[in-house]
Amino acid sequence: MRAILLVLILATSGAFASNPAHAQRSRSGPAESRTAPPSEPERRFPETRHQSRADQLFERLAAARDEAEAANLTEQIERLWQRSGSDTIDLLMTRAREASAGKDGVLALDLLDSVLALKPDWAEAYNRRATVLFQQQDFDGAMRDLRQTLALEPRHFQALAGIGTIFQRGGNGRQALAAFKEALKINPHFKGIKQAAEKLAVDHDGQNI
């Protein structure tokens, strides 16, 4: 799976031209953190528990018997993804979501830049920023953040779905299908993605997945 993810990540590099309206806005990355991460003793045990819980949920998700069970597990995973471990950062993320919902993309991006400056290793913050950039039609920027999301959390099925959606939008059906298939390996009952993958499979391979 990691080999296929690497192909997808590399394939997205430079695949889309940035929207000129956002070309001058520099997105922050891991190297631009203004605040050093907590020391190892502060992080080790909470992150170990977090990772163990995530591993259990992903195992159960892959074996889910139906959509209802998968939806419940998906919700638990998403809640886990959304925990930064810092009340301050969680508050910034909440305000970024509110700004995005209120169609204030500029404010949402500013808040997410601040979040990533404080916590540059948080996969969900990159995924959230990718969503805002996608909404602003900055597909190149969205792809960069989705690649970073997967680099930090290779099981992030939403990021894989996002990559597939951008590929599909750009007319790259086979690459979209590959991304959707990877998402479905992790979350076999991923609502909406299974139908999209099945349609692409028929269109490009002449057979159901």
- For the chain, domain boundaries: 2-16+55-205
Residue with tokens 């299908």, as numbered in its chain = 177
What's 2-16+55-205's CATH class? mainly alpha
**Overall pTM surpassing 0.85 (yes/no):** no
pLDDT at residue 152 is higher than 90? yes
Average of pLDDT values for 144-163? 98
Average of pLDDT values for 42-51? 61
Average of pLDDT values for 174-201? 94
Distance CA 132, CA 145 (A): 10
pLDDT at 8: 53
Looking at per-residue pLDDT, the higher value among 154 and 207 belongs to 154
pLDDT digits (tens, 9 = 90+) for 6-42: 445 444 444 443 343 444 455 555 434 333 444 434 3
Between the CA of residue 113 and those of 45, 55, 109, 131, what are the distances in Å? 27, 28, 6, 13
With contact defined as beta carbons under 8 Å apart, do 159 and 150 qualify?
yes
pLDDT digits (tens, 9 = 90+) for 59-83: 999 999 999 999 999 999 999 999 9
| Helices 2-12 and 157-169: angle between axes, nearest 10 degrees | 40
> How far apart, in Å, do the first and last CA atoms of the chain sit?
17
Distance CA 24, CA 26 (A): 6
